[in-house]
């Protein structure tokens, strides 16, 4: 006899079926394949808090990167001015020596 055959189901009562279904449901809950609504809402709230914290860190990182880029730009401009001054001093020194 195969399972689709109705004669195979004659020995199974509704109580036995409910016991198997309940055992399967509890097993799936314990393994984490199923989740109750309360736990699901808690998990989603925690996920949302983590995402908000990461977004706040990204904003702070963007501010820091902008500040460092501005400082590097000022340093580059200062280096260019120093290089221009050194070049001008060399040219003046070479003109006086010639």
Tens-place pLDDT, residues 23-35: 999 999 899 888 8
Res. 1 pLDDT band, cuts 50 70 90:
low
Give CA–CA dist 21/34, Å, rounded: 14
Residue 19 has pLDDT above 70, yes or no: yes
In SS3 terms, the chain reads as CCCCCHHHHCCCCHHHHHHHHHHHHHHHHHHCCCCCHHHHHHHHHHHHHHHHHHHHHHHHHHHHHHHHHHHHHHHHHHHHHHHHHHHHHHHHHHHHHC
Output the pLDDT for position 47.
96
User: Is the pTM here over 0.95, yes or no?
Assistant: no
Least confident of 29-33, 47-51, 77-81: 77-81
């Amino acid at each position: 006899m195969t399972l689709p055959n109705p004669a195979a189901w004659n020995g199974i009562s509704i109580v036995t079926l409910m016991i198997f279904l309940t055992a399967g449901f509890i097993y799936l809950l314990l393994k984490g394949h199923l989740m109750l609504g309360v736990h699901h809402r808690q998990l989603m709230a925690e996920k949302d808090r983590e995402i908000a914290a990461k977004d706040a860190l990204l904003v702070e990182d963007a501010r820091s990167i902008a500040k460092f880029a501005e400082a590097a730009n000022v340093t580059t401009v200062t280096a260019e001015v120093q290089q221009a001054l050194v070049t001008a001093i060399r040219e003046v020194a070479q003109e006086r020596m010639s």
